[in-house]
Structures are given as structure tokens and as C-alpha cells.
């Protein structure tokens, strides 16, 4: 089994494989899975620092494996004006739920209460599966420094 203990924002080395994970799995610190080519892998990371789509794992044997996001069920609330969008983000944020914020859209795990709140403000809800990459939070690290493997 491959074992990965290191992660990088990018590498100048050849990417050997990839692993596609949903958001719930990416936020775990210990993961047992298979790479996209079918190799068994154990991932051992620092707690509280979710894997980010696009990061590179380095295995003990020197292979470089890219993290990819898996499309999963999400609700994407779409606004047509910035004031309404800001109000909805404020109210959703008060619910302490994980949110991915884009330009006039906000994405969260399907939840009929949150969807009703957004619809109350006039946003439309789209249920097309997508990669879910929520904000890390104001007190978490936005990134993990400028680390890269040569």
C-alpha cells in the first residue's frame, strides 16, 4: 500500500497518479482509499487541514499524486443582484454551515431549510452535482504556505 504523509501546492516533478475524493473524505486526516489507477493508498495528514483540490501528495516511495474533487450532490443558490446575494450569505453564515462562495452563487450540501431560506430571498436553486470546495473559515489557513516539491 502506498503511504502519503506530505502535501504540496504544486510540484516540478511528474504527477504519477491522481485520487478523486468528495469533500467529506478530503477533510479527514486519515484516509484509506484507492488512487484513480487502482492502487491502494493510505493518506496521513495533520488534523484540521483538509486536502484541497489541486494539491499534490508525495508517497514514501516518491510518487506524486494529485488530489481531484469528486462531483457530489449540492445545492447551488444563484442570485441576480449583489445586495440580495450578500444578505443570503450573511443568513447562511449565521447557520454555521459549510459554504462555497462564487460570483453571485453560493453552494452548500442539500438542505431543504437552507434552500427555502435562499428561495425566500429570490435566489434560484440548482441541484446539478458539482465539486464542493467550501471556505476554510476565517481562522483556518487559506493555504498551506508556498510549499512545492522539486
Q: Which ranges of the chain have pLDDT less than 50? A: 142-146
Domains 2-69 and 72-131 share a fold: no
What DSSP line would sit under 26-48, residue for residue?
HT-SEEEEE-TTS-EEEEE--TT
How many CA atoms lie less than 13 Å away from 148 in the CB half-sphere? 10
Write down the pTM of the prediction.
0.85
Spatial distance between the Cα atoms of 106 and 135, rounded to a whole number of angstroms:
11
Residue-wise pLDDT tens digits, 112-137: 999 999 999 999 999 999 999 999 86
**Which of 49, 118, 83 is closest to 110 using CA atoms?**
118
Q: What is the pLDDT of residue 136?
A: 80
Cross-strand bridge partners of residue 78: 105, 124
Tell me which fold the domain 2-69 belongs to.
HSP40/DNAj peptide-binding domain (2.60.260)
**Which of 72, 76, 88 is closest to 122 using CA atoms?**
88
Give the full edge-to-edge strand order of the sheet including 40-44: 17-21, 64-69, 56-59, 2-8, 40-44, 30-34
Domain ranges across the chain = 2-69, 72-131
Tell me which fold the domain 72-131 belongs to.
Alpha-Beta Plaits (3.30.70)
Give the three cell numbers for residue 9: 501546492
Q: What is the pLDDT of residue 48?
A: 87
Amino acid at each position: 500500500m502506498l503511504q502519503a504523509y506530505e502535501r504540496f501546492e504544486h510540484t516540478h516533478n511528474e504527477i504519477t497518479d491522481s485520487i478523486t475524493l468528495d469533500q467529506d473524505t478530503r477533510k479527514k486526516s486519515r484516509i484509506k482509499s484507492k488512487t484513480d489507477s487502482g492502487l491502494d493508498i493510505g493518506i496521513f495528514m495533520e488534523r484540521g487541514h483538509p486536502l484541497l483540490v489541486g494539491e499534490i501528495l508525495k508517497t514514501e516511495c516518491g510518487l506524486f499524486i494529485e488530489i481531484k474533487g469528486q462531483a457530489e450532490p449540492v445545492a447551488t443558490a444563484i442570485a441576480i443582484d449583489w445586495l440580495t446575494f450578500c444578505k443570503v450569505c450573511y443568513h447562511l453564515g449565521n447557520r454555521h454551515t459549510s459554504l462555497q462562495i462564487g460570483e453571485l452563487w453560493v453552494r452548500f450540501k442539500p438542505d431543504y431549510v437552507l434552500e427555502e431560506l435562499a428561495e425566500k430571498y429570490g435566489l434560484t436553486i440548482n441541484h446539478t452535482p458539482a465539486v464542493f470546495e467550501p471556505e476554510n473559515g476565517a481562522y483556518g489557513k487559506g493555504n498551506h504556505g508556498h510549499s512545492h516539491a522539486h
